[in-house]
């Protein structure tokens, strides 16, 4: 009986978590669109050309991340020609290089 209750609770929490993740993703999309329209971030085509200058390879993920100081930065995951995933960090407004993480 207790195990059924625990399994049911785990499933319910997973479903709630999934709904919250979908809602957060929807708001992330709206946030990114608004930032682009206000000129607060670079468009993706410009971002990709900057990325190629610093980190050659195939872009596999781009995330727009707010920082505590209110600035925005792009975190771009790149599959390098050697097969390694690396992450390029750029200022979202200017495209200025911040760093590369492995």
pLDDT tier for residue 70 given thresholds of 50, 70 and 90:
confident
Q: Break the chain into its structural domains and give their ranges.
A: 1-38, 41-102
Instruction: Name the burial class of residue 1, with classes exposed (0-12), middle (13-18) and buried (19+) by CB atoms within 10 angstroms of its CB.
Output: exposed
- Please state, in angstroms and rounded to a whole number, the distance separating the CA atoms of residues 50 and 81: 17
pLDDT tier for residue 26 given thresholds of 50, 70 and 90:
low
Q: Which of 24-28, 32-36, 54-58 has the lowest mean pLDDT?
A: 24-28
**Whether CATH 3.30.70.20 fits 41-102:** no
Which residue carries 């000129």 as its tokens? 39
pLDDT tier for residue 59 given thresholds of 50, 70 and 90:
very high
pLDDT tier for residue 86 given thresholds of 50, 70 and 90:
very high
Q: Token pair of 62, please?
A: 């781009």
- Please state, in angstroms and rounded to a whole number, the distance separating the CA atoms of residues 24 and 18: 10
Q: Give the pLDDT confidence score for residue 27 in this predicted structure.
A: 66
């Amino acid at each position: 009986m207790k195990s059924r209750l625990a399994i049911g609770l785990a499933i319910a929490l997973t479903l709630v978590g999934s709904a919250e993740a979908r809602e957060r993703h929807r708001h992330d999309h709206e946030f990114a669109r608004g930032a682009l329209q206000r000129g607060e971030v670079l468009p993706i085509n410009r971002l990709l050309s900057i990325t190629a200058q610093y980190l050659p390879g195939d872009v596999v993920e781009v995330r727009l991340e707010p920082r505590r100081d209110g600035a925005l930065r792009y975190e771009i995951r790149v599959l390098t020609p050697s097969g390694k995933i690396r992450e390029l960090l750029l200022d979202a407004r200017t495209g200025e290089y911040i760093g590369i993480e492995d």
